[in-house]
Amino acid sequence: MSKTTQAPKALRGVGNYIDDRFHLAKTGEKNLRKVFPNHWSFMLGEIALYSFIILLLSGVFLTLWFKPSMMEVVYDGSYERLQGVPMSEAFASTLHINFDVRGGLLMRQIHHWAALIFVASLVVHMLRVFFTGAFRKPREINWLIGIAIFTLAMVEGLFGYSLPDDLPSGMGVRILQGVMLALPLVGSYISMFLFGGEFPGEDIITRLYMLHILLIPALLLALIVAHFMILWHQKHTQYPGQQRTDKTVVGTPMFPAFAVKAGGFFFFTFAVTAGLSAFVQINPIHLFGPFTPTSITSGLQPDWYMGFMEGSLRIFPNTLDFTIPIGDGYPIVTAVLVPGLVIPGLIFGALALWPFIEQWITGDKRARNVADRPRNAPTRTALGVAGITFYGVLWLAGSNDVLSETFSIDLYLTTYIFRVLAIAGPIVGYIITKRICLGLQRRDRETLEHGYESGIIQQLPSGEFIEVHKESSAESTHVLKEKPALTSTALEEPETDDKGVENPDARKGMGKLRRSLAHWYTKDDVSFEGVEPFRGHHTQDEGH
Amino acid sequence: MKWITARRRHPLAGYVVVILALALFGVGFAALAPTSDEARAQTLSAEAPSPEDVDAANGKTIFDQTCASCHNYDGSGTYDEDGNVTNGPDIREVGSASVNFQVSTGRMPSMDPENQMPRRDMVMSEQDLADLIAYYDESIRIDGAGADIPYDVPGTAPQASDFEDEDAYQAAVEEYEAEYDAYIEGADDVDMGMKLYLTNCAHCHSWSGGGGALTDGRWAPQIHESTPREIYEAMVSGPGAMPMFSDGVISPEEKQELISYVKTLQAEPDAGGIFALERVGQVAEGFIGWTIGLSLIIACAIWITAKQRAHD
């Protein structure tokens, strides 16, 4: 270590002045030395944080000129093509931002691209947490906060998309209203309440604006702060390695190294967003034109994060609608209700509940700070891939008309393909992923027993050729050796006690279910028990 | 070759190979792919061709050779006993606008009557088409049924290959452009054009005129290349799955507003950036957001965490 040097006098003076009043030196020392594990996948959440900051800043800029009003005006701004066209003030003011405010179009594009990247980074961040088991105790609450942020981000995006009152906005709001109307009993009341009357009414933009710039961002900000504070308190998980245990963290201190990296990373995120915004056109509302209730167009989708809901609406069969025979008959529109609400509910519900389900199955109540390698939790990884496949198929189905046109496939055929894939895809994905995980586990055991294949071919005195296996590095050996065994407390309890009386837990329905789930979750795991590193017959020092 | 051999295990060698391969495919594809420089024929006269300029006898020869195998010699079409079209439908009452639309956009003569024909170059010369239409009007068409060719709406631009010398061509282009601009700028009610287009056309041809998918494997073609006259003819004749919008439903003045709206929109520059993503919209934007936006940022994350010193 280098010797401690004195800070410059001016700096010391300021430091002492602050410290005498707030006693920050100790807190600062502790937090500035905080250790961050060094791995790119721990930066994914930061992309989301930085995009959110970009969204806040660019959004504030836009509010200076945007008028959230549906009052009809006749456009006479500088965009010649639409002069003389009656439109809402919301649309006219967006045109004003585009063409009359300096840098306005660029800011709008930055806001939009940052939104797309924000939600995308939430997804990859969430997948990293899921596949490495970083949601396990003690981080379940932070996982739930993350799910809430994801859900709110989608709603926030949808409302923002609706504000300019251009053609796609109006169509998006119309679909939103359709899903609301499909709710039994309360649907029409909710719709009338939200729109202040019939669609589109004169209030919806003003109301969505309030939600978009005030309520939901405030909630998001609060949740992000909570997410971050909990993270700060609990620290990151870390990948397995030497000296990395549930009790010790290895990584880079917050100050200066990590702070520099993170600061630089913010500017890189901003650079990519700004670069896209400068060169790639997004949501050209001036080309779309204002929304009128009679306008409709093909080839238009919601932003990508709503794509899976659009897709589930598109492929869900309409033959399951039925009418409850009360009075004149009360229709239940399952073709909208199920894909519009039940399927997203299932996806997000399953995500939120998974940490608790897994904990219930395994009975694992210990705090876990070392991340799982995805292969070492084959059932969880396979379920995750099944989920991604389901989501991905729905997402693709949301663009079925564009796919149909681009690749010259019959539109109806795409619907049938996606229907089959939505069911078969996750199953196939589950099976393949699980097999891959188990294969990787076996290879790990092989490597641990025999060393890695060095690529060196050796001829033995007998004339036989062999490939020389070498011992892995101490780091890899440690990682391989420390593979946790998949167990469940449910399977450890005997079926009967020593007097032959059945275990009451194993007899009841929930107990039985838990036991069979525990069996399903752990049965294929490759055991590393009794494997002694490099004692197999292939390694060099053993001879052959 | 030694130079390459010495560097083939360089850490960047793989990337260089990938970039070269991509460049090769890109250039190769660009060289092989059909160019969209369509050889356009020339119909620019604002009036119908005078009877002296057309030869109906030649038109009959063309009709018998290229049309009659499906539409029959008298244009009555080919049908089975149940009255279903076998090869081609009855065209005696479709009108000359329909004939002009189908032939000038290269859809007729069809190579495969079972399938929807894409737009392509016209197979016959402009003169042959005029002769064919003269023969159709004279001998096939019943009582002038169907819509006439809207000669006052601008058709295709003149092609250099049709002119003897450069001056005549330039003059023709100027005349055409003046006529085109007069038609497009003659419309002054953007709101009406927009509402008509977005209410009647966009749900198949999309808001940008980029086309879209239809049911049963058919598609609504993109209308970027369509001339005002072709759009007009398509509306009055209702080709394929397209409904007919006669002059009684949408008046000629309204059609002018509509055509002006969509042509002006298509000519509009993309203010948002040099990459307009073909105006496909959200699907393309989402794709770029993931593949370029997020991927670049993640690549940066990998880069800044890859380098670490022992004690930083």
Share of chain B above pLDDT 70, in %: 93
- Structure tokens belonging to residue A231: 């993270």
CB contact under 8 A, B273 and A277: yes
A380 Cβ contact partners less than 8 Å away, ≥ 6 residues apart: A130, A131, A133, A358, A372, A374
CB contact residues (below 8 A), chain B span 145-174, against chain A:
none
Measured between alpha carbons, how far is A107 from A97 in angstroms, rounded to an integer? 9
CB contact A175 to B (< 8 Å) = no
Confidence of residue B36 (pLDDT cuts 50, 70, 90): very low
Q: Would you say how long chain A is, in residues?
A: 544
- Structure tokens belonging to residue B133: 């239409």
Cβ contact A295:B198 at 8 Å? yes
- A118 pLDDT more than 90: yes
User: How close is the nearest chain A Cα to the Cα of B107, in Å?
Assistant: 18
Residue written as token pair 């169509």: A171
By C-alpha distance, which of B66, B273, B234, B21 is closest to A287? B273
Q: What pLDDT shows up at residue A499?
A: 79
A272 vs B41: which has the higher pLDDT: A272
Confidence of residue B47 (pLDDT cuts 50, 70, 90): low
Residue A189 burial (10 A CB sphere; 0-12, 13-18, 19+): exposed
- A4 pLDDT more than 70: no
Residues B230-234: what's their mean pLDDT? 93
CB contact B288 to A (< 8 Å) = yes
Across the interface, of A252, A284, A413, the residue whose CB is closest to B312 is A252
Q: What pLDDT shows up at residue B42?
A: 38
CB contact residues (below 8 A), chain A span 257-276, against chain B:
257, 261, 264-265, 268-269, 272-273, 276
Residues A405-423: what's their mean pLDDT? 92
By C-alpha distance, which of A26, A25, A30, A23 is closest to A233? A30
Average model confidence (pLDDT) across chain A:
90
- B196 pLDDT more than 50: yes
Confidence of residue A342 (pLDDT cuts 50, 70, 90): very high
Q: Which residue of B has its CA nearest to A267?
A: B297
Confidence of residue B163 (pLDDT cuts 50, 70, 90): confident
- A126 pLDDT more than 90: yes
Q: What pLDDT shows up at residue B307?
A: 66
Across the interface, of A40, A105, A120, the residue whose CB is closest to B289 is A120
What pairing do the DSSP bridges indicate for beta strands A86-88 and A72-74? antiparallel
- Residue A237's CB is within 10 A of a number of other CB atoms, namely 24
Q: What pLDDT shows up at residue B38?
A: 39
CB contact A454 to B (< 8 Å) = no
Measured between alpha carbons, how far is A320 from A66 in angstroms, rounded to an integer? 43
Measured between alpha carbons, how far is B143 from A166 in angstroms, rounded to an integer? 47
CB contact under 8 A, B305 and A84: no
What pairing do the DSSP bridges indicate for beta strands B219-220 and B212-213? antiparallel
Q: Where are the domains of chain B?
A: 42-149
Q: What pLDDT shows up at residue A251?
A: 80
Confidence of residue B109 (pLDDT cuts 50, 70, 90): confident
Across the interface, of B191, B297, B300, the residue whose CB is closest to A85 is B191
- A405 pLDDT more than 90: no
CB contact A133 to B (< 8 Å) = no
Amino acid sitting at position A383: L
CB contact A323 to B (< 8 Å) = no
Q: Long-range contacts of range A515-519, CB-CB < 8 Å, 24 or more positions apart?
A: A515/A490, A515/A491, A517/A361, A517/A490, A518/A361, A518/A362, A518/A363, A518/A488, A518/A490, A518/A491, A519/A491
Cβ contact A391:A426 at 8 Å? no
CB contact residues (below 8 A), chain B span 179-218, against chain A:
189-191, 194-195, 198-199, 202-208, 210-217
- Structure tokens belonging to residue A184: 């039994």
CB contact A301 to B (< 8 Å) = yes
A485 Cβ contact partners less than 8 Å away, ≥ 6 residues apart: A525, A527, A528, A529
Q: What pLDDT shows up at residue A518?
A: 92
Looking at A450-454, B126-130, B162-166, which range is the least confident one? B162-166
Confidence of residue A502 (pLDDT cuts 50, 70, 90): confident
CA distances from B263 to B20, B231, B254 (A): 40, 10, 14
- B44 pLDDT more than 50: no
Q: Does domain B42-149 have CATH number 1.10.760.10?
A: yes
Q: What pLDDT shows up at residue B308?
A: 62
Query: Quick check: ipTM above 0.95?
Result: no
Q: What pLDDT shows up at residue B40?
A: 38
- B293 pLDDT more than 90: yes
**What fold is seen in the domain A11-372?**
Cytochrome Bc1 Complex; Chain C (1.20.810)
Confidence of residue A293 (pLDDT cuts 50, 70, 90): confident
CB contact under 8 A, A286 and B220: no
By C-alpha distance, which of B189, B91, B205 is closest to B140? B91
Confidence of residue A260 (pLDDT cuts 50, 70, 90): confident
- Structure tokens belonging to residue B182: 């007069």
Measured between alpha carbons, how far is A435 from A446 in angstroms, rounded to an integer? 16
Residue written as token pair 């970083």: A134
CB contact residues (below 8 A), chain A span 97-116, against chain B:
98-99, 105, 109, 113, 116
Cα-to-chain-centroid distance, residue A343: 17
Q: What pLDDT shows up at residue A425?
A: 97
Measured between alpha carbons, how far is B185 from B265 in angstroms, rounded to an integer? 13
Q: What pLDDT shows up at residue B312?
A: 44
Q: What pLDDT shows up at residue A490?
A: 84
B contact test, residue of A272, A292, A305 with most B CBs within 10 A: A272
CB contact under 8 A, A401 and B301: no
Query: What confidence tens digit (pLDDT) does each residue in A299-339 have?
Result: 889 999 999 999 999 999 989 889 888 888 888 999 999 99
Of these ranges, A192-201, A209-218, A467-476, the one predicted with the greatest mean pLDDT is A209-218
Q: Where are the domains of chain A?
A: 11-372, 437-542
Q: Is the dihedral of CA A357, A361, A363, A364 positive or negative?
A: negative
CB contact A411 to B (< 8 Å) = yes
Residues A523-531: what's their mean pLDDT? 86
Looking at A341-355, A395-409, A520-534, which range is the least confident one? A520-534
B45 vs A240: which has the higher pLDDT: A240
Cβ contact B134:B59 at 8 Å? yes
CB contact under 8 A, A81 and B301: no
Looking at A35-44, A97-106, A137-146, B160-169, which range is the least confident one? B160-169
CB contact under 8 A, B280 and A402: yes
